[in-house]
C-alpha cells in the first residue's frame, strides 16, 4: 500500500514571471487556490497523507502556508534542495524521509483529475509513469509502449514512435534513488528524472503507464489560463 508522496516544489517558475517574482511556483493560484494545495487535497482524498516537499526558491512561503499539514489533514515534512540541479537531484534530497517500498512523486505544477492518482495507486508495476495522448509529440518526452509496459522514454524525438507524452506524475520504488545518483548531468548541467527512469528500464525494472486525457503541466502564463478552466471542469 502506497502511503507516501514527494512533491517537487523547489523551482522558481521563470516562465510564469512576473507572478513568480514574489511567490514560488508551487504557490501560484488556480482559481484562488495554490497549486500545491490542490495536489495535497487530491493526495489526501486517495489516502496518501505522508507528504515530503522538496523546496528551494522562496521556501519560507510554502512552509508558512502549509506548516505541518495538519490544517489539511495530512503530515508534511520539508527537505531543501541545496542547489537547483534538476529533478533527479531534487528527488535524491528526499531519500532519507522515504520509509516505504513505493511512493508517488509529482511536480508541484501538475494539474490532473483526482482519479488519476487512484489508478496509479492500483497499478502493480514497480514503477509507473503518467502520459497523455497529444497531437504533436515532438515537443515532449515520449513513451514507447510495449503492451502494458514502457519500453523506452525518448526526449522530443523528431519522429515520435507514439503520441503518448510523458508527464510529471510517477510511482517509484526506492531503486529510483540509486538511478538518480548514477546519472551524468545533461543540458544546463541538470540531472533529470526521465533519464533515471530510462536507466531503470534499461536495467530491467518494469515500468507500467497510465493515461490521462486532462493532465496539464502549468509552466507558462498561457497554461495557467488553461488551468483555470480545467480545474473548474474537474471540480478541483
Give the pLDDT confidence score for residue 184 in this predicted structure.
84
Give the pLDDT confidence score for residue 138 in this predicted structure.
84
Contacts of 58 (CB under 8 A, 6+ apart): 12, 23, 24, 27
- Kindly report, residue by residue over 161-203, the tens digit of the pLDDT: 889 999 999 999 999 999 999 998 877 788 999 999 999 999 9
Give the pLDDT confidence score for residue 218 in this predicted structure.
93
Give the pLDDT confidence score for residue 207 in this predicted structure.
95
Give the pLDDT confidence score for residue 25 in this predicted structure.
95
Give the pLDDT confidence score for residue 19 in this predicted structure.
92
Instruction: Indicate the pLDDT class of residue 155, thresholds 50, 70 and 90.
Output: confident
Q: Looking at the predicted structure, is the pLDDT value of residue 159 above 90?
A: no
What is the domain extent for residue 23? 4-234
**Strands 50-55, 4-9: parallel, antiparallel or unpaired by DSSP?**
parallel
CATH number at residue 82: 3.90.550.10
- Kindly report, residue by residue over 46-104, the tens digit of the pLDDT: 999 999 999 999 999 999 999 999 999 999 999 999 999 999 999 999 999 998 789 99
- Number of structural domains found in the chain: 1
- Going by the DSSP 8-state scheme, the letter that residue 93 receives in this structure is T
E strand or H helix at 207:
strand 207-211
What three-state secondary structure class fits 5? strand
- Kindly report, residue by residue over 106-147, the tens digit of the pLDDT: 999 999 999 999 999 999 899 999 999 998 888 888 999 988
Please, how many CA atoms are within 13 Å of residue 236, restricted to the half-sphere of its CB? 30
Model-level pTM?
0.94
Q: How far apart are CA 65 and CA 84, in angstroms?
A: 22
Give the pLDDT confidence score for residue 140 in this predicted structure.
83
- Kindly report, residue by residue over 10-46, the tens digit of the pLDDT: 998 899 999 999 999 999 999 999 999 999 999 999 9
Give the pLDDT confidence score for residue 185 in this predicted structure.
81
Amino acid at each position: 500500500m502506497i502511503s507516501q508522496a514527494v512533491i517537487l516544489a523547489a523551482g522558481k517558475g521563470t516562465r510564469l514571471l512576473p507572478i513568480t517574482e514574489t511567490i514560488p511556483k508551487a504557490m501560484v493560484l488556480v482559481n484562488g487556490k495554490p497549486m500545491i494545495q490542490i495536489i495535497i487535497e487530491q493526495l489526501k482524498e486517495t489516502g496518501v497523507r505522508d507528504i515530503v516537499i522538496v523546496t528551494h526558491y522562496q521556501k519560507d512561503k510554502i512552509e508558512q502556508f502549509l506548516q505541518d499539514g495538519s490544517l489539511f489533514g495530512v503530515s508534511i515534512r520539508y527537505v531543501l534542495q541545496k542547489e537547483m540541479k534538476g529533478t533527479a537531484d531534487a528527488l535524491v534530497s528526499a531519500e532519507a524521509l522515504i520509509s516505504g517500498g513505493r511512493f508517488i512523486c509529482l511536480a508541484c505544477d501538475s494539474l490532473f483529475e483526482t482519479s488519476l492518482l487512484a489508478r496509479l495507486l492500483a497499478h502493480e508495476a514497480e514503477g509507473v509513469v503518467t502520459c497523455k495522448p497529444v497531437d504533436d509529440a515532438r515537443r515532449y518526452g515520449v513513451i514507447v509502449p510495449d503492451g502494458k509496459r514502457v519500453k523506452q522514454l525518448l526526449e522530443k524525438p523528431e519522429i515520435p514512435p507514439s503520441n503518448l507524452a510523458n508527464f510529471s506524475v510517477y510511482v517509484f520504488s526506492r531503486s529510483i534513488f540509486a538511478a538518480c545518483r548514477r546519472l551524468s548531468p545533461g543540458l544546463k548541467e541538470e540531472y533529470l528524472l526521465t533519464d533515471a527512469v530510462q536507466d531503470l528500464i534499461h536495467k530491467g525494472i518494469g515500468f507500467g503507464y497510465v493515461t490521462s486525457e486532462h493532465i496539464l503541466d502549468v509552466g507558462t502564463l498561457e497554461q495557467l489560463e488553461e488551468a483555470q478552466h480545467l480545474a473548474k471542469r474537474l471540480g478541483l
